[in-house]
C-alpha cells in the first residue's frame, strides 16, 4: 500500500500521512456524514467522505493514529472499509463488484415488481375516479390473505437490505435512509397484517404502500447506480487509453512486451495507427500524433527526433522509434488519472451546508413523522390517516438527492475537464475558479511561446561577438530559464564553445552570476548588471528595448562586454484568450520581470491594458496578496520557477503544462496544453459545474422543504412519496450528467 506523506503543519513533530479507503454499506448522505464524523473523532485524523464515489480520504498523524484504527472506526459505525491501492487489479475487482451489485439489484427489482403489481392494480379505480386522495375509495380486488402473501416477501426478503442497513446504522449510534424506509414500510405492513389477521374489515390495509415504496426505492437505486457509473466514465476512459502490449527493442530485434515489463531508457517502436505505450522522446522517424485525449486539441501534432510523446496518444501516419522516459505511474496519463481521481473524491466548500444538514436530517425527520402521527391521530382524521401520513413523511424524506447533489457534479465536471486538457487538483479549486474576478498572468511561456531566440548580439568596442556569446553561454549553463536556453542555443548554432564557469548562482527574475577564469561574470537585465558596478558604454540597448525585445547585459570582471537582444513570439491564441476573459468579466493584469518596452509590446499585442514590468518573483506574490486583501477572488497563471510564489499565494492558480515541475506542483489547476484558452475553458467549466451544484442543492433542499409538509398534511400517500423520492435522486444525477456534453461556448466541439 502506498501511504503519502505530507509536510508537517506548524508545530507538528511528524509529517501527516494519507490513506484512501473504499467504503461499503452507505445508502445515503447521512451514512457519509456518520462515517466522516467517527473518523474525525479519532485523534490526529482529518477525514472526508464522498458518498458518490463511496470513498474516504484521511490525513492522520502516525504517532496518534494508524490505518487499523481508521478501519476499525468505520466498522464500529456499521460499515465496511478497506484500503484503496488503486491498482489495475483493484479497479477490475471494484468494477466486478459494481456489476454484481447491479445484477442483484436488477433481480430484486424484477421480483419486487412482479409481486407488487397485483397490489397496485387495486389502486387504478381510485385514480380513474379522480378521488385518489380519499381513503374511502380504497378498493380491494384481492383477498387480504393473498395481499399479505404477496407483500410479505417484498417486505422482508427483497427489503432485507433496509433492515440490515438500519441495524448497522443504529448499532453505530446513527440513523440513515435505511432507518426511514424500514420504519415507514414496517409500520404500513404491520398495521395491515394486524387488520388482516384479526379480521378488522372496517379498516383499510396498506400492503401496496409498503411493497410499492420498497420497489420504487430499489428501482431508484438501480437507475442511480447506473448513472453514477457514467459520472466516472472520463476517468475509466483515460485508464484504457494505453495499449496492453508494446514493441520493445531487445536483443537487436523488436518484440511484443507487456506494458508492465517496460523500463525507462528502453527503445520502442510505434507504427501508424497504434497507440503510444509510454512517455518518451522520439529518436528517429517523423509522424503526426493525435494528442486530443490529453490536450483537448483536435489538430494533430508533428513529431520529429527530440520531440516528447505521451502514453495513450495515437500515432497517425508514420513509424516512430523512441526512448522511454516515463513508464507505469510515472507517465503523464497516469498523473492525469491520479489528479482526476483525487479531484472527484474531494469536497467543495459549497457542500458543507449539505453535509451539516445530512448529519441531523434523519433524526429530525423521524421526529416530524412521530409528531405527524400524534397530531393527525388526535384530529378528526383518526389513527388510520395518522399512520399513512407518518409513513409518507418517512418515505418522502430520503436524503439521497441531498448527498448526490454536489459530488456527482464534481465528478462529471472534473472528468470533462480532463478530456479538455484541464486537470483540476481538487473540488475547492473547481469552486474558486468559478468565482474568479481577477487574473494575473505571466508573460514568458504563458502569453508567449516561451521559446525566445537571440536576434541581436551587440559587442562593445574591442570585443568580438564570439566572446560575448562565449561568456554568456558559460554563465547561463547553470540556468533553466528560457532566456538562458536561447543564449546557449545561439552559441551552439555558431559553433562557439561556452567558457568554463564555476560557482553558478541564479538571481530569480534578474539574471545569473558565475566565475570564469577566476573573474566574476554576470548575465542579466541591464539595470541588474549596471547595479552590480558595470557601465553601459553606449545606447545600443535602447533601440532593442524600443522594439520590444528582451535585453541581457554581459559583463566580465565588472566590464560590459556587450548586450544580447532576444525576442519571444506571442502565442497566436493569446489575444483571443484575453478577449474571452474580458467577456467573462475577469480583469487581466500581466506581470513580467522583463523590461518595460518588451512588456508594452506584448501587452498591446495580447490586448491587455494593465501590466507591470521589471517585477521580481516576490513582487508577483505581493500583487496577488494585495488583490486578495481587497476581497477580490484572484487567480494566477504561470509556467516557471519564478511564478511559484505567486501561484501559491493565489486563490486559484493555473500552471501551463509545458512549464516547470515546481510551478505545476504549486498550482491548483494544470493545463495540459500550453494555451491560455485552456484557462478560460477551466473557468467557464467551473462556472458551469457550480451552476449544476447550485441547481442540484436547490432542488434537493426545495424537494424536502415542500414534500415533507405535503406528506404530513396527507396530500402525498406513501406510494406516490416513494416515486417522487426516487425521481428526485435521478433528477439530481441526470442534471449533473449533462456536464458530460459541456463544451466552451466559443470554441469548436472536441
Specify the fold of 4-85: Alpha-Beta Plaits (3.30.70)
Residues 693-733 have pLDDT tens digits of 888 888 877 777 788 888 888 887 666 765 676 677 677 87
Cα 184 to Cα 390, 455, 659, 717, distances in angstroms: 8, 80, 58, 12
Q: What is the pLDDT of residue 718?
A: 66
Listed as ranges, residues in the chain with pLDDT below 50 are 1-13, 126-137, 231, 233-234, 296, 658-660, 662-663, 748-750
Which CATH number does 243-329 carry? 2.70.150.10
The two beta strands, 587-591 and 610-612, are: parallel
Query: Catalytic residue numbers?
Result: 442
What grid cell was written down for 684? 467557464
Three cell numbers, residue 249: 527493442
pLDDT value at residue 660:
43
The cell numbers describing 577, all together, are 484568450
Task: Find where cell 414534500 sits.
Answer: 707
User: Helix, strand, or coil here: 353?
Assistant: helix
Look at domain 453-567 and name its CATH class: alpha beta
Give the pLDDT of residue 111.
93
Query: How is residue 137 annotated by DSSP?
Result: G
Q: What is the pLDDT of residue 5?
A: 45
Helix-helix angle 177-197:144-153, to 10 degrees: 160
pTM tops 0.75, yes or no: no
**pLDDT per residue over 539-583, tens digit each?**
777 778 777 777 888 999 888 899 998 887 888 889 999 999 999
What's the pLDDT at 132?
A: 42
End-to-end CA distance of the chain, in Å? 37
Angle at 549 between CA 543 and CA 554, to 5 degrees: 85
User: Domain residues of the chain, as ranges?
Assistant: 4-85, 92-233+342-411+691-740, 243-329, 425-445+571-684, 453-567
pLDDT of residue 332: 75
Tell me yes or no: is domain 425-445+571-684 CATH 3.20.20.70.
no
One-letter-per-residue 3-state SS of 179-228? HHHHHHHHHHHHHHHHHHHCCCCCCCCCHHHHHHHHHHHHHHHHHHHHHH
Model confidence over 43-96: pLDDT tens digits? 988 888 877 677 888 888 888 888 889 999 888 888 888 888 766 666 667 667
Angle (CA) 541 546 547, round 5°: 100
Pairing of strands 519-525, 55-60: unpaired
User: What are the two backbone dihedrals, phi and then psi, of residue 396, each rounded to the nearest 5 degrees?
Assistant: -70, -20
Tell me how far apart the alpha carbons of residues 590 and 603 are, in angstroms, rounded to a whole number: 7
Query: What average pLDDT is seen over the chain?
Result: 79
Amino acid at each position: 500500500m502506498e501511504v503519502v506523506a505530507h509536510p508537517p503543519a506548524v508545530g507538528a513533530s511528524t509529517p501527516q500521512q494519507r490513506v484512501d479507503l473504499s467504503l461499503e454499506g452507505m445508502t445515503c448522505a447521512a451514512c457519509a456524514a456518520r462515517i466522516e464524523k467517527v473518523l474525525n473523532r479519532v485523534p490526529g485524523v482529518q477525514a472526508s467522505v464522498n458518498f458518490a464515489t463511496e470513498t474516504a480520504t484521511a490525513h492522520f498523524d502516525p504517532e496518534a493514529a494508524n490505518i487499523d484504527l481508521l478501519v476499525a472506526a468505520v466498522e464500529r459505525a456499521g460499515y465496511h472499509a478497506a484500503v484503496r491501492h488503486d491498482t489495475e487489479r483493484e479497479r477490475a475487482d471494484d468494477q466486478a463488484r459494481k456489476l454484481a451489485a447491479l445484477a442483484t439489484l436488477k433481480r430484486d427489482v424484477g421480483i419486487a415488481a412482479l409481486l407488487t403489481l397485483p397490489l397496485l392494480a387495486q389502486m387504478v379505480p381510485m385514480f380513474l375516479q379522480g378521488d385518489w386522495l380519499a381513503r374511502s375509495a380504497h378498493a380491494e380486488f384481492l383477498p387480504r390473505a393473498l395481499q399479505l402473501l404477496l407483500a410479505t416477501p417484498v417486505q422482508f426478503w427483497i427489503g432485507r437490505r433496509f433492515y440490515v442497513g438500519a441495524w448497522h446504522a443504529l448499532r453505530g449510534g446513527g440513523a440513515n435512509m435505511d432507518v426511514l424506509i424500514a420504519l415507514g414500510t414496517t409500520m404500513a405492513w404491520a398495521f395491515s397484517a394486524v387488520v388482516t389477521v384479526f379480521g378488522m374489515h372496517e379498516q383499510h390495509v396498506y400492503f401496496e404502500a409498503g411493497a410499492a415504496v420498497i420497489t420504487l426505492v430499489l428501482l431508484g437505486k438501480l437507475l442511480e447506480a447506473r448513472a453514477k457509473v457514467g459520472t466516472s466514465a472520463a476517468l475509466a476512459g483515460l485508464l484504457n487509453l494505453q495499449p496492453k502490449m508494446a514493441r520493445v527493442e531487445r536483443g537487436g530485434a523488436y518484440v511484443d512486451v507487456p506494458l508492465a515489463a517496460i523500463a525507462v531508457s528502453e527503445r520502442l517502436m510505434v507504427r501508424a495507427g497504434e497507440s503510444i505505450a509510454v512517455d518518451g522522446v522520439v529518436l528517429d522517424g517523423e509522424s503526426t500524433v493525435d494528442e486530443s485525449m490529453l490536450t483537448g486539441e483536435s489538430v494533430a501534432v508533428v513529431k520529429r527526433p527530440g520531440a516528447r510523446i505521451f502514453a495513450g496518444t495515437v500515432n497517425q501516419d508514420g513509424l516512430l522509434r523512441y526512448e522511454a522516459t516515463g513508464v507505469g505511474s510515472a507517465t503523464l496519463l497516469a498523473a492525469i488519472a491520479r489528479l482526476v481521481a483525487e479531484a472527484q473524491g474531494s469536497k467543495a466548500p459549497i457542500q458543507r451546508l449539505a453535509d451539516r444538514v445530512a448529519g441531523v436530517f434523519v433524526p429530525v425527520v423521524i421526529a416530524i413523522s412521530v409528531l405527524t402521527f400524534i397530531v393527525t391521530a388526535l384530529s378528526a382524521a383518526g389513527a388510520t390517516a395518522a399512520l399513512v401520513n407518518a409513513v409518507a413523511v418517512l418515505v418522502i424524506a430520503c436524503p439521497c438527492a441531498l448527498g448526490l447533489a454536489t459530488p456527482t457534479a464534481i465528478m462529471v465536471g472534473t472528468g470533462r475537464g480532463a478530456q479538455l486538457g484541464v486537470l483540476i487538483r481538487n473540488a475547492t479549486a473547481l469552486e474558486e475558479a468559478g468565482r474568479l474576478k481577477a487574473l494575473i498572468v505571466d508573460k514568458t511561456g504563458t502569453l508567449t511561446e516561451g521559446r525566445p531566440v537571440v536576434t541581436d548580439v551587440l559587442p562593445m568596442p574591442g570585443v568580438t561577438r564570439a566572446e560575448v556569446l562565449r561568456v554568456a553561454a558559460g554563465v547561463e549553463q547553470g540556468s533553466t530559464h528560457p532566456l538562458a536556453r536561447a543564449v546557449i542555443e545561439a552559441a551552439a548554432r555558431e559553433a562557439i564553445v561556452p567558457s568554463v564557469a564555476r560557482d553558478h548562482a541564479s538571481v530569480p527574475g534578474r539574471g545569473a552570476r558565475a566565475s570564469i577564469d577566476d573573474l566574476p561574470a554576470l548575465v542579466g537585465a541591464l539595470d541588474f548588471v549596471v547595479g552590480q558596478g558595470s557601465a553601459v558604454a553606449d545606447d545600443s540597448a535602447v533601440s532593442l528595448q524600443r522594439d520590444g525585445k528582451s535585453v541581457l547585459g554581459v559583463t566580465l570582471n565588472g566590464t560590459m562586454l556587450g548586450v544580447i537582444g532576444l525576442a519571444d513570439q506571442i502565442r497566436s491564441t493569446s489575444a483571443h484568450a484575453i478577449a474571452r476573459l474580458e467577456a467573462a468579466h475577469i480583469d487581466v493584469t500581466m506581470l513580467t520581470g522583463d523590461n518595460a518596452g518588451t512588456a508594452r509590446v506584448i501587452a498591446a499585442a495580447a490586448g491587455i491594458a494593465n501590466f507591470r514590468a521589471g517585477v521580481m518573483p516576490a513582487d508577483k506574490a505581493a500583487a496577488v496578496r494585495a488583490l486578495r486583501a481587497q476581497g477580490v477572488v484572484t487567480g494566477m497563471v504561470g509556467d516557471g520557477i519564478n511564478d511559484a510564489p505567486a501561484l501559491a499565494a493565489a486563490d486559484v492558480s493555473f500552471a501551463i503544462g509545458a512549464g516547470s515541475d515546481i510551478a505545476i506542483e504549486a498550482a491548483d489547476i494544470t493545463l495540459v496544453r500550453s494555451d491560455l484558452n485552456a484557462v478560460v475553458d477551466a473557468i467557464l467549466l467551473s462556472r458551469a459545474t457550480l451552476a449544476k451544484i447550485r441547481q442540484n442543492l436547490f432542488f434537493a433542499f426545495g424537494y424536502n422543504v415542500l414534500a415533507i409538509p405535503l406528506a404530513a398534511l396527507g396530500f402525498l400517500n406513501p406510494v406516490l412519496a416513494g416515486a417522487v423520492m426516487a425521481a428526485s435522486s435521478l433528477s439530481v444525477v441526470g442534471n449533473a450528467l449533462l456536464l458530460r456534453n459541456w463544451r466552451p461556448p466559443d470554441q469548436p466541439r472536441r
